[in-house]
Structure 1
Amino acid sequence: MSPPSTAGARGAVPDENALAELAEWVAIASVSSDPDRARDVRRSAGWLVEALRRTGFPRAEPWETDGLPAVYASWPAADPGAPALLVYSHHDVHAVDPSEWRVAEAFVPLVRDGRLHGRGASDAKGQVMSHLWAVRAHLARRTAPAVTVKYLMEGEEEVGSVHLADLLSEHAEDLSADVVMVSDSMLWSLDEPTVCAAVRGSVTATLGIRGAERDVHSGAVSGAAANAAVELCRLVDLLSDASGRVTLPGFYDAVAAPAPDLRAGVGAVPFDLADWQAATGTFGTPGEAGFTAPERLWVRPSAEVARLTAGRTDAPALGLIPAEASADLLFRLVPDQRADHVADQLRAWLDLHRQPCFTYDLEIPPTISDPYRTPPDARALTALTRAVGHAYGAPAGHVGNGGAAPGAQLARACDAPVLFFGTGLPGDRWHGPDERVEVGALRLGVSALARFLDELSAPGGAGTPS
């Protein structure tokens, strides 16, 4: 299925000039986790401000934080009574190991075979640019947007959005909106029209274990000394049972049944295991028994281990028993779970499994996030569903998203329904080597977003019925 062309609208399709514009931004190494790249993150913010001004936004400016800058822009609608749309995304990118990149260097973008390769091409600079191109297409037949358009593009998403709450509080008036759209999301595929109507929440934690004052030669203590690495492996194994269910006490007490439209959407989306494995580079679909892979991705919670560290990593092990070990843990949550409750459950779980010959340190950062479900009766969700269906040329269904986003946080701060629409794909290799974005996905995004602005401006296009 091929999306309809929007070539007649100025700037609508990412042609060579538009892709060159995106590539110029991708070339800025805005890695927020690297203090040496702080200047590049600021350059990225400045680049985006200028791109917004070129598009015509009368207000576009960096917003400073105690860390790295966000970008804000606004363009009032021609009609003062029109709804206001706030688009949230980010301009910082994930860290890079240059030795792992094969197709192109991370910050030397390359267009090849219908894809633009480079760090941030999909997550999330390509998504942000699709909004700018859509606004340009929308303005091809008018002098001002049909709805007030506002952007908040933070510069610290990849390090946990540590100052997002401050931005939302300090700039509440500027960020007021009738509808919020999170543009840091994925399409299911280029062939199946779907709209993300729910995102999972997340709790991250680092579990540190110590069994000795220092590394000890195994010849002196093997078999009679506490081994932090072995204890860490024991605890990681205990995180889930034989059926793949998470073992935190009370973890499933608040897991709600999937909403009917989500259940129908999950069941209707074609899922080919071989294609999915090829796109994601995975070898199989283990997980909670009794559920399909799409159900595990979208409507069930999960526990993952993101990193394990123990022993010498800079030299041969030399027969040493490691004194300490650590694991980075990640829990994905679904409605109606609460992130703070799951954090407490994790602490209680660790207390159940402590052993006297080890010390334990559990760190849970404050950047946990709750799951969020777009209100199914939100008129804006209907408008977006129609717009995506128009772009694909077929009716769109509702699905979930396997990752997390600050949907609940934005909904509380703005007192507005939150939508999700992005141009990423499961095979775009977010956070991995050789990240890329499909030009076809950008084209679909532009078509859907330009149509969405029209749909949102129609009577009853925004908000939730009372």
Structure 2
Amino acid sequence: MERHDGGADHHAYVRSRRGEIERQLAEWVRVPGVLAMPEHRQDLLRSANWLAAAFRETGFPVVEVLPTGESHAVYAEWCQAPNAPTALVYSHHDVRAAKAEQWDQTSPFQPVVREGRLYGRGSSDAKGQVLAHLEAVRAHLAGRGSGSGPTNPAAAPAVNLKFLIEGEEEGGSPHLAQLLEEQAPRFAADVVLFSDTLLWRQDSPARCVGLRGMLSVKLKVFGPGRDVHSGAVSGNAPNPAFELSRLLAGLHDDAGRIAVPGFYDDVEPLPADLRQALADLPYSDEDWLRRSESGAITGEEGYTVLERLWLRPAVEATALLAGDPLGVPRAAVPAVASADLSFRTVPGQKVATVADLVRQWCEATIGGAFGYSLEPDLATAQEAYRTPDHPAVGILEHAMAQGFAGGVVGRMGNAGGGPADLLARTINAPILFFGTGLVEDHWHDSDESVSLEVLHNGAVTLACFWDGLAMMQRAKDGGDGHLPG
């Protein structure tokens, strides 16, 4: 018989398993499933197989490991509630490369727990988020009074659950669209829960309402036909390092706006209610600088830090290369200077249009003494996405209030990108966001870690969310097993 005690039972259940959650996460973090490094290709398969086994141990009757490019995705399904809605959970298990010499707390794949945090690559982005989901399913089952796992095969969630945990997210998900299209029926769902995002603060949960889009661009500027001894040509040779520096300096105007003509033409006005929601979040410059370790606050004038972070477009230079950055210098004028640029787009903008505008700007701006190449990566580009109004939104907010015992749940955005728009278009379902990361978790950086308390609260939130979806469906007169749109 089912109990409806709210989050208290779920908190007690998850707390009773805290040691097991730490053990599982540490075990998985030890698998170095690093994307885009040939020496770790087999580790990506090992990571997928580890997760597949964890799904089976949780009780999922359908679990498959699906090849995708040079990696593998994990698909799990537990659909034994014919009159209930179906939710698809999206996340990823691949991780970014780590420079071990820059880690102070531990080696990247030797996890340790210190002061309530588990350190290790992937602990927060995104293995911890995936394990919070598995724990949530167990808590949801326990809350129904039915237990979980293969020892009780009759037990099943009160909603239909599908999980797609891919292994190429850190490379822009280049094969996700193909997978979704080729196997569309198995991914059909009423709602998608996207779990590769951040929370605002551990003591102040906020629901993510959308992601910015992303376009990666490789820009190369060419000078001499080959590297030339600077003493032989200095003062006459076109130096591409200077020209590239001039271009990058000209990407922003004096007000911090991106100076590419037409860049803002399609940007939608900021919703007044969302601006107010961001203003209501507990924020101070001191707290932000301490947690982000960004050193100073810069950006577009006329907008708050949080508006710039989540609601306005941006561009970053993520890599620069010219001359001899490593090894013995040759005192030569370099033939090539290159930069990797990351454009973050917002609703209204299209990445293909942004790519064309940047191409036109380069053609009009680069001096005649230089050649150049511009390579926008449209294959991995991602459009911006914002969650529409939907009944499941209120259920998620209520679940977060139960999980974090925070009362009011705020609203926030996500500064990075992700395949939310792709999922929404191909599955034809709204995307909701819930993740357990924090800015201080050091995603993609040294000493990545996750708060075990946040994982606990996240698992409770998700268990309450599944409870809420099931209860909403039962409350509908003549429910057809689908959420109202």
TM-score by length of 2: 0.92
> What is the match of residue 67 of structure 1?
70
2:119 equivalent to 1:106: no
Q: Residue 333 in 1 paired to residue 345 in 2?
A: yes
CA shift, 1:247, in A, is: 1.4
Q: Which position in structure 2 is the counterpart of 1:173? A: 185
Indicate whether 1:416 and 2:429 are aligned. Answer: yes
Measured after TM superposition, the shift of residue 189 of structure 1 is 0.5
Conserved 8 A contact 2:190-2:483: no
Q: Residue 432 of structure 1 corresponds to which residue in structure 2?
A: 445
Tell me by how many angstroms 1:217 deviates: 1.4
Judging changes above 3 Å, is the alpha-carbon distance between structure 1 residues 94 and 177 closer, same or farther for their aligned structure 2 residues?
same
Give the letter for the 1:250 counterpart: G
Q: Secondary structure at the match of 1:458?
A: helix
For 1:8, the aligned partner's letter is A
- Secondary structure at 2:187 match in 1: coil
- List gaps (5 residues or longer) in structure 1: none
Structure 1 residues 123-132 or 14-23, which shifts more? Answer: 14-23
Superposed displacement of residue 197, structure 1: 0.6
> CA offsets per residue over residues 91-145 of structure 1, 9 Å max, x none?
1000011110110110000011000000000000000000000000001024211
Q: Percent identity?
A: 45
Which residue matches 2:42? 39
Aligned to 1:289, the other structure's residue is in SS state coil
Higher deviation after alignment, 260-269 or 33-42: 260-269
Q: Deviation per CA, 1:38-72, whole angstroms, max 9, x where unpaired?
A: 00000000000000000000011101123211000
1:363 aligns with 2:375: yes
Amino acid at match of 1:235: L
Supply the distance in 1 between the matched residues of 2:400 and 2:233 (Cα, whole angstroms).
64
Match of 2:23 among 20, 27, 42: 20
CA contact (8 A) 2:117 2:452 kept: yes
CA distance in 2, matches of 1:238, 1:275: 31
Structure 1 position 12, deviation (Å): 6.0
How many Å separate the matches in 2 of 1:92 and 1:12?
27
Alignment partners' CA distance in 2, 1:227 and 1:357: 9
Return the letter of the residue paired with 1:49: A
Work out the CA distance in 1 between the residues paired with 2:165 and 2:260.
35
Per-residue displacement from partner, 1:337-394 (whole Å, max 9, x unpaired)? 111111111111111112221111111111101000000x211111111111222220
Closer, same or farther: CA 408–18 of 1 in aligned 2, 3 Å: same
Contact 1:4 1:392 in 2 (8 A): no
Corresponding residue of 1:126: 128
Q: Which stretch has the larger CA shift, 220-229 or 47-56?
A: 220-229
In structure 1, the partner of 2:410 is 397
Match of residue 321 from structure 1: 333
Deviation at 1:249, TM superposition (A): 2.0
- Contact 1:200/1:401 (<8 A) preserved: yes
Counterpart CA distance in 2 for 1:222 and 1:212 is 12
User: Matched residue of 1:459: which SS?
Assistant: helix
Match of 2:463 among 441, 446, 450: 450
Q: Tell me the distance in 2 between the aligned counterparts of 1:7 and 1:100.
A: 36
- Contact in 1 for aligned 2:196/2:434 (Cα 8 Å): yes
Question: Secondary structure of the equivalent of 1:64?
Answer: strand
Q: Check whether the contact 1:12–1:134 (CA below 8 A) recurs between aligned residues.
A: no
Distance 1:198 1:463 in 2: 23
Tell me how far 1:13 sits from its aligned partner.
5.9
Q: Distance in 2 between matches of 1:352 and 1:284?
A: 32
Letter of the structure 2 residue corresponding to residue 289 of structure 1:
E
Q: What is the one-letter code of the residue matched to 1:231?
A: E
Q: Is the 8 A contact 1:204 1:364 kept in 2?
A: yes
Q: C-alpha root-mean-square deviation of aligned residues, in Å?
A: 1.6
The letter for the 2-side match of 1:263 is R
Correspondence for 1:92: 94
1:157 aligned residue: 169
Distance 1:332 1:18 in 2: 35
1:277 matches 2:273: no
Deviations 1:183-236 (A, max 9, x none): 000000011121001110011111011101111111111111100100110110
Moved more, 12-21 or 177-186: 12-21
